[in-house]
């Protein structure tokens, strides 16, 4: 099994937090790849938020970019709902 890649993200307060890939996918409609990250660890009582990004694994810098349009958010949300709600895909 391949070793998980850990992404270290800095929040608006300057705190660093580790995330790992939950899943990734390509969109032909947007001609981009996307990645959904989840926290490596979650404190008790804390919500486990997943975060979607545009994903360019070949970029030296800026590998993760925020989603740009409402249409992208809607598409990513639809993919996430499909994966999270289909027991065959879990």
Summarised one tens digit per residue, pLDDT across range 45-80 is 667 688 999 999 888 778 999 999 999 999 999 999
CA distance 53 to 37: 8
Q: Which two tokens stand for residue 48?
A: 């486990």
- Look at residue 1 and tell me if it is in a domain: no
Tens digit of pLDDT for each residue in 18-49? 999 999 999 999 999 999 999 988 777 667 68
CA distance 45 to 56: 33
Q: Which domain holds residue 43?
A: 6-89
- Look at residue 23 and tell me if it is in a domain: yes
Number of structural domains the chain divides into: 1
Res 86: pLDDT? 76
Res 19: pLDDT? 94
Q: What is the DSSP string of 8-42?
A: EEE-TTS-EEEEEEEEEEEETTTTEEEEEEEES--
pLDDT above 60: residue 1: no
């Amino acid at each position: 099994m391949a070793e998980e890649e850990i992404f270290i993200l800095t929040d608006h307060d300057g705190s660093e937090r580790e995330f790992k890939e939950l899943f990734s996918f390509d969109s032909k409609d947007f001609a981009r790849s996307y990645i959904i990250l989840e926290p490596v660890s979650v404190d008790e009582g804390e919500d486990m938020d997943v975060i979607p990004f545009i994903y360019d694994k070949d970029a030296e810098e800026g590998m993760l970019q925020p989603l740009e349009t409402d249409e992208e958010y809607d598409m990513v949300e639809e993919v996430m709902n499909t994966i999270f709600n289909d027991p065959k895909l879990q």
